[in-house]
Each structure stands twice: as C-alpha cells, then as structure tokens.
Structure 1
Amino acid sequence: MTNLLQINSSIFSSGGHSSLLANEFVDKWRTRNPNAQVTVRDLANDPLPHLDAARVSAYFTPSGARTPEQQVYVDESDALITELKEADVIVIGLPMYNFGIPSTLKAYFDRIARAGETFRYTENGPEGLLEGKEVYIFAARGGKYAGTSLDTETAYMRDFLGFIGITAVEFIYAEGLNMGDAAKDLAVAEARKRLAELVV
C-alpha cells in the first residue's frame, strides 16, 4: 500500500496558500490512489519545540544510559522518523517568511536529521538513508523570488532533503501573491494547473 505524508507549515494552518495548494494536490492524489494511506502533519496546530541542548544530548546518549526525560525526547523523534520512513510520497506546503522557511518546519527537520536513522557518516562523507521517495513542494510567496539570489528556500530544501537521501523533489511555485489581485489569481491558477499535471 502506498503511503503519503503531507506536511503543512503555514502559520495559518489549512488556510494558508501553500496549504490550500497542497490540500488540493492530496485530494486529487487520493482520487487516483483510493487505497493509499494519507497522514497529515500540520505544524501550526501541532508545533514542535525548537531544538535545544537537552534534546541533542538525548539523541547522542546510548539507549541504555538515557534518563526517562531523554527517552521521551528520543521517542518523539523516533515517531516522526518512522512516519517519514513509511511514506512513499511527501507533500510539503511551504510559505516563505522573511526570506526563509517557517521556523516550525526547521524544528521538524531538526527532529528527523539523526545519524544512523535518516543519514549516516561514511569515509566518503554523509550518506542519506531515505531513498526512493517522491517529494512535491508547494512554495507560496508574497513576492517573486524563484531563480533569484533571494530564493533561499529552494536550495535549502533540495540540500536538506538530499542530505537524508531524497532527491526526487518537484517544486510548484505560487509567487506574487501580495502583488495585487490579478497577480495573485494568475499565480494560483498556474500552480493549480501544474499540480493537476503532476497528480499520478
């Protein structure tokens, strides 16, 4: 059975433009894949605390030496990693806030980037362990940044996902959303057209 994991990172939850596009994609994908399992993680409604020293220490402490508090931190991370490992398709709703990804998404990434779980170190450098997955990223922006030096998101997302072994990454952009109604309507229409082409 195919598993899809949807991660929405808009501070407006399901009301954000990136979430609306991601939701539409997933709805169409469900129609094509009626027997699939879909898991939705909304980082606005269920945010993760930012990484801190206590959690990092817990991740590096051997299992037999962890305190009960440390085990709670590890269990939290393990659950997210299991969810990710089980997914064949990953859909991410990605707004841009102040030229970067939402801090809630960074907190999520900090939980799943663990040596021995999602990547490993080798004599040739780090190697990602989550190969064979497809990722669709719905990037919503108020301005127009794709292809410019101000688009820090695209490279960061490709670099991070590649680090954990995921290289099949498709971006669907909806840009200029704060540049007037005409620009907004055109951007959304183009993104919706592209997402319809990608549903398989």
Structure 2
Amino acid sequence: MKRRIKGLLKKVRSQIQKFYNKYKQNYRLLRYKNYLNHNQKLNVGSGKTESNGGWFYCDKDILDITMEQSWKRLLGKTRLKNIFAEHVWEHLTEEEARAANYNCYIFLRGKGKLRLAVPDGFHPSKDYLNHVKPNGTGIGSEDHKVLYDYITLSSRLRKVGFKVNLIEYWDENGNFHSNKWNIEDGKVNRSKEFDKRNIDGKLNYTSLIVDAVKT
C-alpha cells in the first residue's frame, strides 16, 4: 500500500513539475513576444537572452533561425525592423543559410534590414584566412561551414529577394572597401573601426559586413 502511495505521489509531483515548466516557458515566451512587438529589433546568435538598448538578444534555445515554425512561435504576426547577426552565418551549412535568409526576409517588415557580419574570404592575409576558414586555427573555426566573400554572400541574399548594400569588404584584388554605416542597425565589433586588433593603420581583423534590405 505504501509503495503504491509513493508511486502515485511521485507521478503527481512529476505532472506538477511538467505543468510548472510549461507555464514558465509560455510566460517567458509571452514576455519576449511583447518586447519584440514593441521594439522590433532582434540580435540572433548572441549566446545570451536579454533585452538591451532596444534589442532583444537570443540564441538557438529561443529561436532556431533555420525553422520557420520557430520564428512564428516567437514573433506571431510581428514583423521586425532590424535583425542583426555577427559571425553566426558561417556556422550554418549552405542549406541552413538558405532557410535562415528566407526566414529573415519573411519576418522583416517592408524596408526592414538584416545586417550580417561574417569572416571575409577575400581578406588578403593568409594568417587571417587560416584563422577563420572551416577547420582553421581560430577558436570556433572547427564549427565553421562556409567562408563567404562579398560575391557569394550577396548572391545568396538576393535570391530570396533582398537588396544588398555592402558595408565593409575586401574585393578579389585585395582592395578594402568601407562605406558609412549606423551602429543603431547593429554594432559589429569585429570591424575596421571597433576591432582592437587593428592598430597602427593595419587592418589585421575585419569582417565582411552587408545590409540586406527587404524590398
């Protein structure tokens, strides 16, 4: 008899815990939805979940950028003004990146902006390229799937409907290009201006930075 009662109590506690976890998850999701509905600025792949400076920061446990249903679950009918990702897309396979590009386009409002920063495959430094290439020498490069240049990244974004504005990039002739950009649309720390490795006028570490605008 005691054994049966213990078994029932254990089952009840388990059900209560499941109910509580579900309630907590739904409550948290509702808070996130309300924040995004008001601010409409999403930073993906940041490794944390918080709200700061009008941005909502989230990682894969909150949003899987490759899954349309995950976007719907987080945003509902909300459409975003800004999406920002710094050194995230290189961790996606080509198929995953296609899905992420499409989802970003769908869940941006008209003239909304996706700012992407990734390692630059046209950077003239061999040390840099060895550092950032898939299975390279840099921290995290063992998970890199693609090394983009301005041609390949722009082409793939245009395929889903984006108009692409190049912000910072190296071209195939080893020339660096930099256009004016507003950090309010996403501050790229690994950039000409903000990366501390760029000293004495030498561009030791830059990113390929693009703004993809929903037309």
TM range (shorter): 0.3 to 0.5
TM-score under structure 2 length normalisation: 0.33
**TM-score, L = length of structure 1:** 0.35
Q: Which structure's residues are more often helix, by fraction? A: 1
Larger Rg: 2
